[in-house]
Structures are given as C-alpha cells and as structure tokens.
C-alpha cells in the first residue's frame, strides 16, 4: 500500500514505473509540465509581497528589477512534485507570518541601556540580537527575486529542516529563488548547529571534527563560528537564494524595516556605504548570470565600502547564529532532557530503545549522549548489552553528535534534482555539467576545493582528501523526529509528516534509517537504486551499492537487531524532539496536509526513479 498526501493533485496510489514506461512518459510530458509550471509561477512571482522593506522602497526597487525569467525545468517526470507551486506559496505565507510576529516583538523591545567597558546592552542585548537574527532568517527580501527566505528550507515545525513533504519525497533539495534551480542535498536542521566547533583536524584521531554543512565547508576559519559562516553561504548560492554578491545582502538590509534594530545591535553608521547607481539592478540579477563573467563582486564598491560591507555580512551571520543558538531554536526541552533531570519516566519501549541506542545498536559511539557505549558481540555470544552504564550522565545537555564525519555507504539517489540540471537556464547557468556522473564525495571534495563545494582555507588539509571521500557530517540526533503537532510522527501509516534523512534524502523514514544501519551489509546488492533483484524489496531486503565505496564506516551494517528492536530505537529517537517541557515556538505554523497510508519500511518506495533512466 502506497502513502498519499491529502489534497495533492497526483493520484494517491502510484506504482513504480517500469523503466521504459517512465522514459516514454517523461518525453511526452516534459513540454506540458514546463508550460504548466510557467503559467502557474508567473502570477506567483508578480504578486509577491515584500516584507523586509517599506512599501515605497519595494516599489522603487522593483521598477529596476529584471524579469524573473523563464522557468528552469530540465527534470524528468517524478522529480518536480505536482503540487510544487501551491506548496511554495504555503511556506511563503507561513514564513511571512512568522516574520511579522518577529517584527512586532522587535517593536516591543525595551530601549537599550549601554553600560560597562567593554560596552554591553544591559538586560536587553540578548533579546535584541536574537530577535534581529529571527527577522533576518524569515526575510524573503534577502533572495534575488525576493521570494524565499532562509527559512524556506528550514521551518520550525520540521526541526528547522525541509517543510514540504512532497519535495522531501521527490527532488530532495529545495527549489531556489530562481525556479526551479535546486541543489544536491537535504536541508540540514538548524537546531544545535551553533554548538559545532570550528573545523579542525585532530591528528591523534586522524579525523576532522566541527564545521557546518554536510561537507563541513563552513569552517568558521575567519569569524571563528562555523554556524555564523554557514549562514553566509545560502544567500549567494546560485541554487538557493541566488544573490550575485554578498554586498547585495547588505544593500537589502540597508532598506529593511528592521534596519534600526540592526544599528542598535551593531552600531549606527553600519550602512554608511556609497552604493553605485546600478546596485538594485545587479542585485536583482541571479548569481551565475553570464553577464557577470564569473565575478563574485559585480557591485563595484570602493575598498573602504567593501570592507564595511564585509563587516555587515559577518554581522549578518553572527545575528543568525544568535537566533539559532537561542532557547527558541536549540531548546533542550525534549522528553530526554526531562528524563535526565528526573522529571520524566520513559515508556518501556523508549527505555528499551535507549539501551539499544547505547548498547547493541552502537548508535552513541557517534551520536554521543553523555554516557558510555556497551556494545554487544554478534550472536551466539550475546543479544543484549553486556554491561550497563549506571553512573550519572557525564553531560546534562548532550548534543547527540561527535562533530565528526563518516561515509555510511548510502546508495546514490537518482531523485536528486541536481543530476538533471545539465542544460543552461535563462541567464546562462548550467548547474551541473556532469549530470548523473557527478559523485558527491562530501568532505573529500571540500578538502580539494572541488566542484560543488567551497574553497578550502587550509592547505595542510588537502592531503587528507582521499581518506575523506564520501564522508558527511554526523548531524545531531536531536529533533530528527520533530514534526508539526497535527502530524505527530515521521512514520507511515500516520497521519505523518514526510521528512527525508541523510545528505541525499535516500531514506524516507526513521524505521528505514535504523534498518539501514542494521542490515546494510546483510542485504547488500551490487545494483543501483531502482534495480533490486526480483523477489527483493529495496530498503527492506535489498540495499543498492554505495555511491562512494571508499572509506565506508564498518562499525554499522550488521547489528543483529530484531524488527522489534529497530522499532524501539525509533521510539527512543522520538524522545529527542523539543517541545515536551515547554511549547516549541512556531511549531503550529504548519498549514499543509498530513500524509496517511503505507508502511514505514517502504515509505516513499513508490516514487523511486531507476538510476538507469538518468543515464539516457
């Protein structure tokens, strides 16, 4: 039985196409899909409201903007969800409402009293910078077409990760400000990201720890905050918010209605910059446009003004970091936090899952919970933890990550939109000339300063690239199961909120996630996704070969967990969702539909696209 999205325009029960059927349907429908998408999006763009600036400023700037351009849709059928237009508009309404709420809160802040040496905004400084960061996070004005905010990919009710169930089921990465450019990875959760340290190579461990992003490319090397540096990437990523120059973010901030709060926090005169007359036009032209000739600084500022602009952009990142580190985002308000304080008694299944998490499942060897690991040898030597950590927890605020990276041996996911972006868009950008041949080497690519990542600021790290191929950051397990309250689980049959897991979204439920760790090597098949042998079911008793076969972490893959034990670990993971000891802010802003039906073990399988199709 397949799962269905209530209110979606596609049929609720869709069979996996045979390769020939899918290819023929793709050829017949591409023109129709592109035409329909164009008709649907044109009014959507032209009717947008700009929330980060005054009405007069919006009107003046829009008169100099270039047209949004034609819709970019190079995708075969099954990549773009059929409800993408309505879901984009839904999320925009939600994030605009949260921004208005944050602006109201900013207006109610107590005027600051600056005292002490160094000067500190006594009593009000924390609230001011965190509120400023929230306003920035939900401001659509910071994207090239003023139609998505940072929060578009990171909404509170999804643990500050992807908010569109149909995107999580299909294209994996979220459409950017230029529709429908898209990246290659899932949207990582904001929550607890500020606690990741600056990227460092630990010579004794022979491993990297810290940084932000799946590939750790936000190192924090300069402003010494990996999370603040992370916030500087999406606004100028051509596949995300699409600004052509970091100065464009500063230019838009200078026109924001919350500019007075920015200057209160970071100082009057922050925006004393002489902007060229063509700044608005440049900042309304997407990154990657051929007219820029590859320049990252098409806004021509004097050296002094460029320095001032760079300073403001650092303060942009630090403000968003302050919001993400606040107790409204990284809340430590889960059942597990109450359990550590002695204020919650776990259910039998939750406790069994916890014991498995730090025992037979070996989960807390990477997702550190402040306790020791009691691993179990394979049967017949043992079936339960051989020892138990009965001591007091070493940490009362465990982050459930080691800050490291690992290659878990995930199969390549043909549904990733990036693989299809092999042709130029309306401004001349070809996002992925390599097509399906592109291999996501994660940390290894970053250490080489390779395509699809960022420049490596430390030449001594380059030597470790080959040993780092395929490695992706070990995210915190906190809030992995957080969902809107009206869709109380990530698991079919629901009602559930469809999420996606790991860097390439190949896994669609927590049941699948635990089952992958448990049986990756037991049911390994030398095939690609969509081509499991007859008589097997992908993600149940067939795991396609790893995308990156080198450096695979062999501490998982054959854990000898029973089906019941897998389910118990899922129950424990659900205790890590914030919002138990006190309400989680903005969790009820979801206005979409829950999904129902199906089974967690095969969740999303009806939409698998065979890898062979992507080579045609």
Q: Stretch 376-401: mean pLDDT, rounded?
A: 67
| Band (65; pLDDT cuts 50, 70, 90) | very low
Average pLDDT over residues 554-560: 97
Confidence of residue 50 (pLDDT cuts 50, 70, 90): very low
What lies within 8 Å, CB to CB, of 180 at 6+ separation is 37, 71, 72, 73, 75, 80, 84, 417
Mean pLDDT of 515-542: 98
Q: How far is the C-alpha of 99 from the C-alpha of 94, rounded, in Å?
A: 9
Residue 386, pLDDT above cutoff 70: no
User: What are the E-state strand segments in 464-555?
Assistant: 472-473
Name the more confident of 375 and 7. 375
Give residue 489's pLDDT band: very low, low, confident or very high (50, 70, 90): very high
Give 3-state DSSP helix, strand, coil % of the chain, rounded to 5.
Answer: 35, 5, 55
Task: State the pLDDT at residue 462.
Answer: 98
pLDDT at 379: 55
Buried b (16+ CB within 10 A) or exposed e, 17-27: bebeebbeebe
How many residues are present in the chain? 616
List C-alpha distances in Å: 14 to 50, 80, 541.
38, 15, 21
pLDDT exceeds 90 at position 321? yes
CB-based contact 150:136 (threshold 8 Å): yes
How confident is residue 390, by pLDDT bands cut at 50, 70 and 90?
low
Say what the pLDDT of residue 392 is: 66
Lowest model confidence (mean pLDDT) among 56-65, 125-134, 141-150, 447-456: 56-65
Number of neighbouring beta carbons within 10 Å of residue 601:
17
Peptide bond into 586 cis (omega under 30): no
pTM of the model: 0.89
For residues 245 and 282, the answer to whether their CB atoms sit within 8 Å is yes
CA geometry: angle 418, 419, 421, nearest 5 deg: 65
Q: Which of 51-55, 92-96, 402-406 has the lowest mean pLDDT?
A: 51-55
Q: What was the pLDDT predicted at 350?
A: 98
Chain centre to alpha carbon of residue 114 = 37
Mean pLDDT to the nearest integer, 206-211: 98
- The predicted structure's pLDDT at residue 616: 75
**pLDDT (average), residues 257-275:** 98
pLDDT digits over 165-204, tens only? 999 999 999 999 999 999 999 999 999 999 999 999 999 9
Rounded Cα gap, residues 284 and 353, in angstroms: 51
Q: Per-residue pLDDT averaged across 584-588, rounded?
A: 98
Asked if residue 222 has pLDDT above 60, the reply is: yes
Per-residue model confidence (pLDDT) at position 25: 38
> Which of 93, 173, 156, 152 is closest to 482 using CA atoms?
156
pLDDT in tens, 348-357: 999 999 999 9
Q: Which residue from 179, 579, 583, 239 is spatially nearest to 430, judged by alpha carbons?
A: 239
Among candidate residues 604, 615, 528, the one with its CA nearest the CA of residue 76: 615
Which of 39-53, 474-488, 494-508 has the least mean pLDDT?
Answer: 39-53
| Secondary structure of 520-532 as H, E, C letters | CCCCECCCCCCCC
The pLDDT assigned to 111 comes to 95
The yes-or-no verdict on residue 243 having pLDDT over 80 is yes
Considering only residues 19 and 79, tell me which one the structure prediction assigns the higher pLDDT: 79
pLDDT tier at 28, thresholds 50, 70, 90: very low
65 vs 62: CA distance, rounded Å: 5
Computed over every residue of the chain, the mean pLDDT equals 89
pLDDT, average across residues 131-155: 98
Percent of the chain with pLDDT over 70: 85
| pLDDT for the residue numbered 202 | 98
Q: Which domains does the chain have, with CATH numbers?
A: 49-325 (1.10.760.10)
Which residue is associated with the tokens 């993400």? 324
What are the residues whose beta carbons fall under 8 Å from the beta carbon of 27, sequence distance 6 or more?
none
């Amino acid at each position: 039985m397949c799962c269905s999205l209530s209110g979606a325009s596609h049929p609720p029960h869709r069979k996996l196409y045979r390769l020939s059927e899918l290819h023929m349907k793709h050829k017949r429908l591409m023109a129709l899909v592109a035409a329909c998408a164009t008709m649907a999006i044109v009014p959507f763009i032209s009717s947008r409201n700009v929330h980060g600036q005054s009405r007069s400023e919006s009107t003046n700037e829009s008169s100099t903007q270039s047209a949004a351009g034609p819709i970019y849709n190079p995708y075969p059928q099954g990549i773009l969800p059929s409800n993408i237009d309505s879901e984009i508009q839904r999320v925009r309404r939600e994030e605009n409402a949260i921004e208005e709420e944050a602006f109201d809160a900013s207006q109610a802040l107590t005027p600051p009293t600056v005292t002490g040496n160094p000067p500190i905004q006594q009593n009000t400084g924390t609230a001011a910078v965190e509120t400023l960061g929230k306003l920035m996070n939900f401001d659509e004005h910071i994207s090239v077409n003023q139609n998505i905010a940072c929060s578009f990919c990171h909404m509170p009710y999804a643990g500050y990760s992807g908010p569109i169930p149909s995107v999580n089921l299909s294209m994996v990465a979220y459409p950017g400000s230029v529709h429908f450019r898209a990246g290659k990875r899932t949207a990582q959760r904001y929550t607890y990201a500020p606690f990741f340290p600056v990227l460092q190579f630990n010579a004794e461990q022979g491993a990297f720890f810290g940084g932000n992003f799946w590939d750790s490319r936000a190192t924090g090397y300069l402003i010494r905050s990996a999370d603040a540096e992370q916030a500087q990437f999406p606004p100028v990523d051509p596949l995300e918010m699409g600004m052509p120059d970091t100065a464009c973010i500063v230019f838009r901030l200078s026109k924001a209605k919350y500019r007075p709060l920015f200057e209160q926090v970071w100082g009057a005169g922050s925006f004393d910059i002489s902007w060229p007359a063509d700044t608005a036009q440049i900042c309304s032209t997407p990154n990657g446009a051929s007219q820029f000739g590859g320049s990252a600084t098409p806004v021509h500022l004097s050296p002094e003004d460029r320095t001032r602009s760079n300073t403001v952009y650092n303060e942009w990142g630090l403000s968003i970091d302050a919001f993400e580190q606040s107790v409204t985002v990284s809340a430590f308000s889960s059942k597990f936090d109450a359990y550590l304080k002695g204020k919650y008694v776990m259910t039998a299944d939750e406790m069994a899952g916890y014991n498995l998490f730090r025992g037979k499942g070996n989960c807390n060897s990477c997702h550190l919970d402040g306790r020791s690991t009691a691993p179990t040898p394979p049967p017949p030597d043992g079936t339960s933890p051989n020892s138990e950590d009965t001591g007091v927890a070493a940490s009362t605020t465990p982050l459930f990550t080691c800050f490291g990276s690992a290659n878990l041996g995930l199969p390549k996911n043909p549904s990733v939109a990036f693989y299809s972006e092999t042709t130029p868009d309306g401004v001349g950008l070809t996002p992925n000339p390599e097509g399906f041949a592109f291999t996501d080497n994660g940390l290894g690519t970053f250490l080489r300063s390779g395509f699809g990542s960022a420049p490596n600021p430390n030449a001594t790290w380059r030597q470790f690239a080959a040993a780092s191929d395929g490695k992706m950051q070990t995210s915190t397990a906190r809030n992995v199961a957080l969902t809107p309250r009206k869709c109380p689980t990530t698991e079919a049959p629901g009602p559930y909120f469809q999420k996606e897991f790991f860097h390439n979204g190949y896994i669609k439920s927590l049941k699948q996630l635990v089952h992958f760790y448990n049986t990756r090597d037991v049911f390994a098949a030398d095939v690609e996704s969509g081509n499991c042998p007859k008589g097997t079911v992908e993600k149940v008793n067939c795991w396609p070969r790893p995308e990156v076969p080198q450096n695979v972490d062999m501490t998982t893959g054959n854990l000898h967990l029973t089906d019941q034990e897998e389910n118990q670990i899922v129950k424990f993971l659900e205790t890590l969702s914030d919002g138990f000891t006190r309400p989680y802010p903005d969790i009820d802003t979801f206005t979409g539909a829950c999904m129902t039906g199906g089974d967690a073990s095969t969740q999303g399988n009806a939409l698998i696209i065979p890898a062979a199709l992507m080579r045609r």
